[in-house]
Amino acid sequence: MRESSDISEIRTAVRQLCAQYGEDYWLELDRTRGYPTEFVDELTRSGFLTVLIPEAYGGAGLGVYEASIIMEEVCRSGAHAGACHAQMYVMGSVLRHGSEVQKQQYLPKIAAGELRLQSFGVTEPTTGTDTTSLKTTARRDGDDYVINGQKVWISRIQHSDLMVLLARTTPKDQVKKKTDGLSAFLIHVGEAEGRGLEIRPIESMINHHSCELFFDDLRVPKDSLLGTEGAGFKVILDGMNAERILIAAECVGDGRYFIDKASHYAKERIVFDRPIGQNQGVQFPIARSYAEVEAAWLMVEKAARMFDAGEPCGAEANMAKMLASEASWRAGDVCMQTHGGFAFAKEYHIERKFRETRLYQIAPISTNLILSFIGEHVLGMPRSF
Ligand SMILES: Cc1cc2nc3c(=O)[nH]c(=O)nc-3n(C[C@H](O)[C@H](O)[C@H](O)COP(=O)(O)OP(=O)(O)OC[C@H]3O[C@@H](n4cnc5c(N)ncnc54)[C@H](O)[C@@H]3O)c2cc1C
């Protein structure tokens, strides 16, 4: 299907911007665990990271479909979008659940690139995927909330001015539904660090800037609350579909990157006096992978269109994320195999992308949890937990 001229223009502009940050730029950051400040600044200045903010608050007012095209192009260029993708969607919590005062206070500044809201703190070390059992608490004390607890894998917090945090305000055994009693807070990271918030970076397999957080009597003003007290699970849940669709688009970008690289190399590399791609044992896995990535893109498109039309799209967003993350991983594996030993040389960049795309079968939600959502909520099979 031919894309509209608007979409082609977005693609071209993002492609041109990314072309200035070649793969050596990303390799060096991976080596040094650096943050792509210049790249993120330029993407922000060009308005690409704020397309989802409505025009009334200074953004472009575009949809998740357009945002998906941007993220797909970023990843297809060889970049690692993990450094910046959350700036696109975390602000959705403020947009959908913030008061008008909070929206006026934050969204125009985020749109202008003056404030970074690209960190969200949900996961905890002892409870993991079982979000409603999380142990971080926020206790009301006069005009403040006092936060205690621990989070893990909280990405980009050292490169973010604000973080959306999920904490329990009513103990789980005192609420009707386990999803009740959780509240979302908008935390000023700079003000909190050293005054009850300790941030410790985690050394990890990819350059994702993830940290452990320790809250020890952190006081935040009561107007840090996003939405109403006790209804924070919905604040987080509402942002999840956009996040899943955008991550799925990134995976498609990764998948297309791997297939471009693999098919190019298969045409060029001569062994036994002929291009390796002439052997169907090399050619077919690349062709199969291409078909899988393109099929995943159809689900990304469907989910994004439904999201933008305001239709419920939980199943489609989840399926898009699952299919795209699996397709990109398989494409990465095929790309590695096609390159033989050279796949392991860092200068070929494939091993970095291979590591990076692996994340998306685990975060922001693991494949099993998606299958359980489909099994129970779409197909009506018995609940397992
Ligand atoms: C690089 C990175 C960046 C991240 N960034 C963030 C971030 O910015 N903010 C944030 O809040 N979190 C973040 N996360 C956390 C991420 O969302 C979680 O790692 C993920 O949701 C899985 O949770 P877990 O690691 O605790 O796994 P667990 O919940 O311990 O699960 C481990 C495995 O068991 C499986 N499993 C568990 N229960 C069941 C069940 N009932 N049935 C079947 N299978 C089950 C899971 O599918 C998984 O494969 C990040 C993680 C990583 C690795």
> pLDDT digit string (tens) for 115-158?
999 999 999 999 999 999 999 999 999 999 999 999 999 999 99
CA 123–ligand 1 middle distance (angstroms): 7
Mutation test residue for ligand 1: of 127, 129, 247, the one with most atoms within 8 Å of CB: 129
Give per-residue pLDDT as tens, 1-27: 778 999 999 999 999 999 999 999 999
The tally of domains found in the chain comes to 3
Q: What is the mean pLDDT of the chain?
A: 97
Same domain, 219 and 262: no
Same domain, 155 and 92: no
pLDDT of residue 84: 87
Same domain, 283 and 151: no
CB neighbours of 364 closer than 8 A, spacing ≥ 6? 240, 243, 244, 247
Beta strands 274-275; 270-271: pairing state: antiparallel
Same domain, 321 and 357: yes
Same domain, 151 and 91: no
16 lies in which domain range? 5-111
Give per-residue pLDDT as tens, 309-359: 999 999 999 999 999 999 999 999 999 999 999 999 999 999 999 999 999
Same domain, 214 and 123: yes
Q: What CATH number does residue 14 fall under?
A: 1.10.540.10
Which residue type, as a one-letter code, is found at position 351? E
Q: What CATH number does residue 319 fall under?
A: 1.20.140.10
pLDDT of residue 3: 85
Same domain, 243 and 373: yes
Which residue type, as a one-letter code, is found at position 131? T
Same domain, 102 and 87: yes
The conformational region for residue 128 under phi > 0 = left, psi -120 to 50 = alpha, else beta, is left
Same domain, 226 and 343: no
Same domain, 255 and 324: yes
pTM, whole model, 2 decimals? 0.97
> Which residues have CB under 6 Å of ligand 1?
120-123, 128-129, 153-155, 204, 208, 210, 359, 362-366, 368-369, 372, 384-385
Beta strands 162-168; 117-121: pairing state: parallel
Residue 82 placed within a domain: yes
Give per-residue pLDDT as tens, 275-312: 999 999 999 999 999 999 999 999 999 999 999 999 99
Q: What are the tokens at 118?
A: 């690209």
Q: Which whole-number Å values give the CA distances from 348 to 217, 258, 287, 340, in the listed order?
A: 48, 11, 21, 11
Same domain, 240 and 365: yes
Which residue type, as a one-letter code, is found at position 235? V
At which of 111, 142, 161 does a domain end? 111
For ligand 1, atom 26, name the residue with the nearest CA.
128
- Reported as a pLDDT band with limits 50, 70 and 90, residue 238 is confident
